[in-house]
Structure formats: structure tokens, C-alpha cells
């Protein structure tokens, strides 16, 4: 056998050995993933894709097990379980975590993004990394930003076609001061509440309305307890795919790499389904009897104008440098810098 062949064989054996060694680092494990939404939400598609990816890259050793409808607790409760090291993962809106990391409030500023393209550019770019790099400091690791989406108002009182129509409507908002202030500034009676309590509160008329993306309104069956959908697109909420830092640090580098890569694979699937399903959901909400109105752009501009003071009012709590950095990034994306 020539020296070259021997060298090639040795090199091959080394690579196979390394791969086997790396695989040996990968433990058999089932990772529990807490979700507030139901499994037929696009997050279900994203998690299925991420799970298939993780299974393939780990030789079937690592599995993701989704828990839905807040079965393992709401967003904030599940996130606290991660921080205490008693649970592995949660896919949560950033908004309820504002008490954990005030900087997350930057995503709650009303009418911040004009479209999904801007949201993706910010979240998947330097700014998104800048915020993700803050998460280990509060006991969390953000694997990716998935899409909750542009939020719209539903209620059981009357359509909201003009800025003044918010007046008198009792609207549930997430447990988040920026949303609370935004909806109070718009004239509604804003009530902070965990997502898991919203359906019953609507059904019993403890509240008149809520606001969420149409795929959430559809898959949470809010059409059963709401009459009007007003397409306001007043905010865009990201989901974070969070891992407990205490548990993350117990994973082998190979396992961490697999989870990070597959969270991105899951992200692309989840966003694609979220955007494709939005049209279907809108059609279903109409079929289920909801009266849907697209708010006139001139009226949206009036709403934008009305809530502008919310930016200055909350800049200090969020971090003025963070708000300024966000606005500078957006100006760059819009070609205005």
C-alpha cells in the first residue's frame, strides 16, 4: 500500500473517530418546550421542523417535546422556571419578560416596524444579536427569534375604524408597561393579563377585547367570543426560543451547536407558515362570523401620532441607548441614514 493511501486511510479513520467521539458526547435526552399558543399555531410547525433537524443531527438521541396552551405555565412563569434551572425551554413573546430584562421593551414600542422585512432585518441582524447577548446575564440563552407577528384588535363592542373608537373599550394587554400605556393613550381601558386567562375573560365579558396576530386569534378560537376584528398592525411581537442557561451549560458543545443550528431551521419554517397562514386565518375569522375592518391608513397615521409620546416616556426604562440604536438601525434599513 502506498504511503499516500496509508495517510488517506489514517486521516479517514481520524475523521470517523472524531465524528464518533462527538456523537458519543451527545446524550439521550428529551427536552421539554413550553408554549402558550396551541399546537396548530405556526409555532407547532416550527417546533416540528426543529425537532426533525435535532433528531437527524443527533442520531435520534435528542428529542424536543412540545407542551401547548400554557400546560407548563404562561410565558413569564415558564421563563422563570428556566431561570431557576427547573425547565429546559420556552417559546415566549418578549413582552411579558420586560420585568426580567427591561431592554426587551424596545420591541413593544407602538408601530415600530412597518413590515416583516424590517422585523427580520432587525431581529436577524446586529441589533437582534445585541439583545440576545444580554440574555445569559438573566439566566437565559436565546436560540432564535421566531414570529408572533403584527398585532390587531378584536372586541365585542364595536368596530374600531378611527383613533377615537378605542375609547371605553376594556382591552386586555400583555403584562407590559409599554402596551398598557399605548392602549391607555389610545383611550381604551387597558387591563394587563396573562395570555392563558384571556379566553375566559372574553367569554364572561370581564373584558371587551384583546390584541394579537390573526393566526393567534384563529388558533386560540377567539372568534368564538369576539365579534369585531380591526386590522391595526399596531405592534410586531417577536417570539424568543429560550433555553435555561443553567441547563445549557450542562450540554456538550456538539449538543449546543445542534440546538442553535436547528432553531434557525425551525425559525425559517415557522415564519413561512406564520405568513402563509395569516391569509387563511383572516378568511376563517370571517367565515366564523367576525366582522373584519381594515383601518384606513389616514386613521392609522392618527393613531401613530397619538402614541408617539410613549417612545419618550419609556425610553429611560428600556434604555435610551437601546431605543436610539434601534431607531438608527431602522433608519439605515430604510435608507434614511
Pick from 92, 142, 152, 188 the residue near ligand TK8 by CB under 6 A.
Answer: 92
Kind plus residue range of the DSSP H or E element containing 278: helix 253-287
Q: Which is nearer to ligand TK8, 26 or 43 (CB)?
A: 43
34 part of the interface to ligand TK8, by CB under 6 A: no
66 part of the interface to ligand TK8, by CB under 6 A: no
Site for ligand TK8 in 112-151 (CB under 6 A): 148
181 strand-pairing partners = none
Q: Which is nearer to ligand TK8, 155 or 237 (CB)?
A: 237
Q: Which is nearer to ligand TK8, 37 or 106 (CB)?
A: 37
Q: Which residue in 41, 19, 306, 49 sits closest to 181, CA to CA?
A: 306
Please spell the DSSP secondary structure of 181-234, one letter per residue: HHHHHTT-EEEE--GGGHHHHHHTTSSSEEEE-HHHHHHTTGGGT--EEEE---
Q: What angle do CA 299, 305, 309 make, to 5 degrees?
A: 150
CA distance 317 to 181: 13
CA distance 233 to 115: 9
Pick from 31, 33, 68, 75 the residue near ligand TK8 by CB under 6 A.
Answer: 75
278 part of the interface to ligand TK8, by CB under 6 A: no
User: Between 44 and 63, how does the x/- string for binding to ligand TK8 read (CB under 6 A)?
Assistant: --------------------
155 part of the interface to ligand TK8, by CB under 6 A: no
195 part of the interface to ligand TK8, by CB under 6 A: yes
216 part of the interface to ligand TK8, by CB under 6 A: yes
212 part of the interface to ligand TK8, by CB under 6 A: yes
Residues 6+ apart with CB under 8 A from 149: 213, 214, 215, 216, 236, 237, 274, 278
Query: In the 8-state DSSP scheme, what is residue 154?
Result: E
Q: Which is nearer to ligand TK8, 36 or 110 (CB)?
A: 36
Pick from 174, 225, 242, 322 the residue near ligand TK8 by CB under 6 A.
Answer: 174
Comparing every residue's Cβ against ligand TK8, the nearest one is 36
Q: Which residues of the shown chain bind ligand TK8 in the complex (CB under 6 A)? A: 36-37, 75, 92-93, 148, 174, 195, 212, 216, 237
Amino acid at each position: 500500500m502506498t504511503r499516500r493511501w496509508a495517510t488517506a486511510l489514517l486521516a479517514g479513520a481520524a475523521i470517523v473517530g472524531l465524528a464518533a467521539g462527538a456523537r458519543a458526547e451527545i446524550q439521550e435526552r428529551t427536552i421539554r418546550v413550553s408554549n402558550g399558543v396551541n399546537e396548530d399555531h405556526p409555532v407547532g410547525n416550527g417546533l416540528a421542523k426543529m425537532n426533525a433537524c435535532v433528531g437527524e443531527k443527533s442520531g435520534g438521541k435528542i428529542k424536543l417535546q412540545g407542551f401547548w396552551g400554557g400546560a407548563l405555565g404562561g410565558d413569564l412563569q415558564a421563563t422563570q422556571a428556566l431561570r431557576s434551572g427547573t425547565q429546559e425551554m420556552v417559546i415566549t413573546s418578549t413582552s411579558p419578560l420586560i420585568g426580567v430584562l427591561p431592554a426587551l421593551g424596545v420591541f413593544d414600542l407602538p408601530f415600530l416596524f412597518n413590515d416583516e422585512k424590517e422585523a427580520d432585518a432587525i431581529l436577524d441582524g446586529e441589533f437582534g444579536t445585541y439583545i440576545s447577548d444580554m440574555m445569559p446575564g438573566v439566566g437565559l440563552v436565546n436560540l432564535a427569534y421566531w414570529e408572533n407577528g403584527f398585532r390587531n384588535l378584536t372586541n365585542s363592542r364595536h368596530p374600531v375604524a378611527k383613533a377615537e373608537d378605542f375609547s371605553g373599550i376594556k382591552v386586555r394587554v400583555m403584562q407590559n408597561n409599554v402596551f398598557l400605556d399605548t392602549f391607555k393613550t389610545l383611550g381604551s381601558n387597558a387591563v394587563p393579563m396573562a395570555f392563558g386567562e384571556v379566553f375566559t375573560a372574553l367569554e364572561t365579558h370581564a373584558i371587551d377585547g384583546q390584541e394579537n396576530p390573526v393566526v393567534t386569534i384563529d388558533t386560540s378560537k377567539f372568534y368564538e367570543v369576539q365579534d369585531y376584528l380591526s386590522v391595526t398592525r399596531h405592534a410586531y411581537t417577536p417570539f424568543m426560543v429560550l433555553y435555561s442557561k443553567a441547563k445549557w451549560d450542562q450540554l456538550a458543545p456538539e449538543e449546543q451547536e445542534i440546538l442553535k443550528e436547528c432553531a434557525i431551521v425551525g425559525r425559517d419554517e415557522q415564519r413561512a407558515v406564520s405568513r402563509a397562514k395569516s391569509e387563511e386565518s383572516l378568511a376563517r375569522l370571517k367565515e366564523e362570523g367576525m366582522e373584519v375592518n381594515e383601518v384606513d391608513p389616514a386613521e392609522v397615521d392618527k393613531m401613530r401620532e397619538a402614541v408617539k409620546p410613549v417612545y419618550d416616556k419609556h425610553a429611560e426604562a428600556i434604555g435610551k441607548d437601546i431605543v436610539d440604536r434601534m431607531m438608527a438601525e431602522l433608519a439605515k434599513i430604510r435608507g434614511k441614514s
